Amino acid sequence: MVERHLRRRGIEEDAVLRAMAEVPRELFVPPELRSRAYSDGALRIGEGQTISQPWIVASMTALLELRGDERVLEVGTGSGYGAAVLSRCCREVVTIERYPSLARQARSLLEELGYENVEVRSGDGTRGAPDRAPFGGISVTATAEGGAPSTVLDQLAPGAALVCPVRRGDRENLVRVRNGVEEAIAPVRFVPLVEAPPADQVDGQDRDDKR
Ligand code: SAH
């Protein structure tokens, strides 16, 4: 996967390639899809959500230009795969997932696999994690309407980068924002970033978290 889907398609950062080689992607996808874990596609993970394709995960991580000592915020934990990859490239990851069920699954898998520098929260990621800001990098893995969420942008350290898929009209682009300047990277497709809590799961908070 690293040679075929990543290095050949322009991912050069050693730390990112190493992280992609190290993190066992097959454990983050449902058992019946394991045989496809290393093909370069997005896969379903439950609650109508997807685990992003390897090239996207690697690109978004590389675009943050991490040195290794940062605290990074991820909005949209999903399977926890992206957080695991990020965690190999920085000091600490705080990741937020809107579906308590997905947050719980990701939290226990990451714990089981020994990713000790990842904190999984459940709730509305568009509010960020003000108690842990500022962040040395922010990755939003669901599409925002019109622009990156401003509350999250405000939690970026000076000079640090945020990557986020943004929809404007019928165009969806991955953008990078740094020092208030937005740069379009590539056309992409992600699930939407949704601010309201899921209707079937009480108030968007994981009750397990409160114990
Ligand atoms: N990074 C993930 C891919 C996630 S797909 C992985 O590696 O598997 C996007 C995720 O964003 C979905 O799980 C979706 O539920 C979540 N999401 C959407 N809106 C959100 C919000 N406002 N706050 C937190 N998570 C959100």
**Beta-carbon count within 10 A of 201 CB:** 18
Residue nearest to atom 13 of ligand 1 (CA): 78
Domain boundaries, the chain: 2-193
Give pLDDT, residue 91.
Answer: 98
Q: Cβ(131)–Cβ(156) under 8 Å?
A: no
* DSSP line for 5-65: IIGGGT---HHHHHHHHHS-GGGGS-GGGGGGTTSSS-EEEETTEEEPPHHHHHHHHHHT-
> pLDDT band at 22, cuts 50/70/90?
very high
Give pLDDT, residue 13.
Answer: 94
> pLDDT band at 206, cuts 50/70/90?
very low
CA distances from 158 to 37, 82, 95, 133, 166 (A): 36, 23, 20, 12, 22
CA diameter of the chain: 47
Strand residue runs (E) in 47-204:
49-51, 71-75, 92-97, 118-122, 135-140, 144-145, 156-168, 171-178, 181-187
Nearest-angstrom CA–CA distance, 163 and 152: 11
Model confidence pLDDT, tens digit, residues 100-156: 999 999 999 999 999 999 999 999 999 999 999 999 999 999 999 999 999 999 999
2-193 — its CATH code?
Answer: 3.40.50.150
Distance 175 CA to ligand 1 centre (A): 17
Model confidence pLDDT, tens digit, residues 47-86: 989 999 999 999 999 999 999 999 999 999 999 999 999 9
- Token pair in block for residue 208: 């397990």
Model confidence pLDDT, tens digit, residues 163-194: 999 999 999 999 999 999 999 999 999 999 99
Give pLDDT, residue 122.
Answer: 97
Nearest-angstrom CA–CA distance, 196 and 204: 8
Out of 20, 194, 200, 201, give the residue to mutate to test ligand 1, the one with the largest number of ligand atoms within 8 Å of its CB.
194
Ligand 1 site residues (CB inside 6 A) read 49-52, 75-76, 78-79, 81-82, 96-99, 102, 124-126, 141-142, 191, 193-195
Nearest-angstrom CA–CA distance, 147 and 115: 31
Is residue 52 among the annotated active site residues? yes
- Please tell me which residue in 35, 39, 52, 79 is annotated as part of the active site: 52
- The minimum-distance atom of ligand 1 relative to the CA of 28 is 8
* Distance, C-alpha 187 to centroid of its chain: 17
